[in-house]
Amino acid sequence: MHKGTRIFWYGVCLLFLAVHYPAVCEDTSSRGLFVTVIQDPPVLSSRTAIESLVTYARSARIDTLFVQIYRANRAYFPSRIADPGPYEQCRVAVGEDPFRLLIDEAHKNGIRVHAWLNMLSLSENKDARILKKYGTGILTRNLKTKRTIEDYKIDNQYFLEPGDPRVRRELAIVVGEVLRAYPALDGIQFDYIRYPDKAPHYGYTGRNIERFKKATGRQVVKEKSRGWKDWKRAQVTEFLEQLVMTARSIRPDIQVSTTGCAPYIRAYQEAFQDWPSWLNRRLIDFVTLMSYAKDPSTFGEYIEEARKRALDFKRVNVAVGAYVLVNAPEAFKKEVELCEKAHPGTCVIFHYGSLLQNPLLGDFLVKTNIVNI
């Protein structure tokens, strides 16, 4: 058949399918999935679980997996800095490096893998190596009296101070360890790049106050002053810049991203996290918006706000909080539909364990797997 004739009939076929089966030809959004280590048991602890994850991801048109391998200063990769206990346990159970196995299996199926790292949160790990090394002086704090380590807890977590050079140095080393251990990795996502935001009166560590006074010439810190707020926001950004510089120096081609709080006022005024500026000046490749709303209308508002803040909306991933919608499958379906109709960079489900907890959620993604021509 002549080439021109083949092209003509191919076009006719596409037109026929578009008319009679419009879903088949629909331009679909990319899909991602968070895989957390708090899932019981963790996916990385079993070869069967790793294979099941990849099989499910393929069936649900998930093209990017964000796999948690660093949380609470514990490592699911070979580390000298963080506690490698979880990695060693999983390696023995699987018979090889579990994260490398997951990367290999995912790549065989055309699925990208990004390492997901919780940076400034130690969760409830009061025995974290970094705390043993430096003491409570590296934990961000308010001005209330601290008598025991429990007094440093914020929202049931211990938060590291982003303005402390020791914290920055240690966590940059962790990033280097990850990228050197997994050269086939597609990306790295930094989570908890922020101050605690339950009440934004933090940052009062001795080291941080000393640096603030030296940099600004001010001898008094006023909680509501613009200078103090700008300082804290700058500390978060400078910390991220150091992590990005480390990542790029090792893997110039690696995709670097962060999570971002929603709504924006929470990110900017409470968490001191200016994710739109990071995105718009291309410090990072994309941001994953933590748009975890139980109400689909609020979820839609988060999307529209992000569209206005980002110069390129395709560099915004929108996360659907399956974990808060486990018992609300209809709301979950609605939010997935809203996300995909908005066409961000990727619609990311948080998280895989929630889909297993309520199969109605996971089955919905499989049933709406639209095959592109």
Mean pLDDT confidence for 358-371? 87
Residues 178-190 have pLDDT tens digits of 999 999 999 999 9
Report how far residue 31's alpha carbon sits from residue 323's, in angstroms, rounded to the nearest whole number.
17
Residue 2 zone, left/alpha/beta (φ > 0; ψ -120 to 50; rest): beta
Residues 226-260 have pLDDT tens digits of 999 999 999 999 999 999 999 999 999 999 999 99
**339: its two tokens:** 């996300």
**Is pLDDT larger for residue 235 or for residue 369?**
235
Mean pLDDT confidence for 105-123? 98
Output the CA–CA distances (angstroms, integers) from residue 231 to 151, 199, 308, in the order listed: 24, 17, 26
| Residue 150, C-beta contacts closer than 8 angstroms, at least 6 positions apart | 126
Residues 42-78 have pLDDT tens digits of 999 999 999 999 999 999 999 999 999 999 999 999 9
Mean pLDDT confidence for 133-149? 97
**Is pLDDT larger for residue 237 or for residue 2?**
237
**What pLDDT is recorded for position 369?**
74
The three state secondary structure string of 143-169 is CCCCCCHHHHCECCECEECCCCHHHHH
Confidence of residue 198 (pLDDT cuts 50, 70, 90): confident
Confidence of residue 23 (pLDDT cuts 50, 70, 90): very low
Q: What structural domains and CATH numbers belong to the chain?
A: 33-367 (3.20.20.80)
Amino acid identity of residue 341, one-letter, is K
**Is pLDDT larger for residue 2 or for residue 88?**
88
